[in-house]
Structure 1
């Protein structure tokens, strides 16, 4: 018996379509983790509480599943137990980049996201929860002037 990976099931097309949409979804999630962490770090550096920043983002047009779910559930709580590893996200990002290249589609933002996720294989490690990609970014936002 197969267990669903999501509560929703959506038909997206013929054979292979689901795989491509999964890669596209994980690309967006990976990008949202980076951009949300940078936005929260910027606000924190300016003295805004991260939870308050997220409340503001989530009431505006910048919200995403990452800001609404991942940050409260796994990042700000520091639980980091979502069940999806950094290694799996890195693999999916490489597959998305390879798919775009095979389609002859230059996607420089995708390439930048792949590079950001692979920049430091030790932080986070492949076995860490994928939400840990936010940790070094958020740490920069919490540094005081004397620690920079």
Structure 2
């Protein structure tokens, strides 16, 4: 006599797609400038680690949108600055071509440009002031360095006008 092996029935596999409620959030968010209407696609992480300050009538530019580095409630220096100049590209190049200010676009008599910090904030220096305190500020230094070196080059390519 042969015994038949009993195999339990498997439940049908449910659709593996996440529902819209749990769908993956976009990895970026859209910054829309209230004064000049340009947009930038920023990494989602920038919502946690930046604050935006805007200023008009700067010494050399008409307007600036400054994305400042923020870590655990403390606000440091700029990660990215978007500057708007009221001049032609030709005029702008005559003044800024050999400067750390980088041209982005020209539109309606305005030049859009950006800058990034040339060095880490002095807040990250050790007590001697001669080197950065990597033991104390290592996480902030790595994060800020990634934002400036990896994120900013991608962000500035997303500049659009509405």
Task: Provide TM-score, normalisation by structure 2.
Answer: 0.27
Task: Provide TM-score, normalisation by structure 1.
Answer: 0.29
Query: Hey, which of these two has a bigger chunk of helix by percent?
Result: 1
Query: Hey, which of these two has a bigger chunk of strand by percent?
Result: 2
Flag the structure with larger Rg: 2
Structure with larger RCO (C-alpha < 8 A, sep 6+): 1
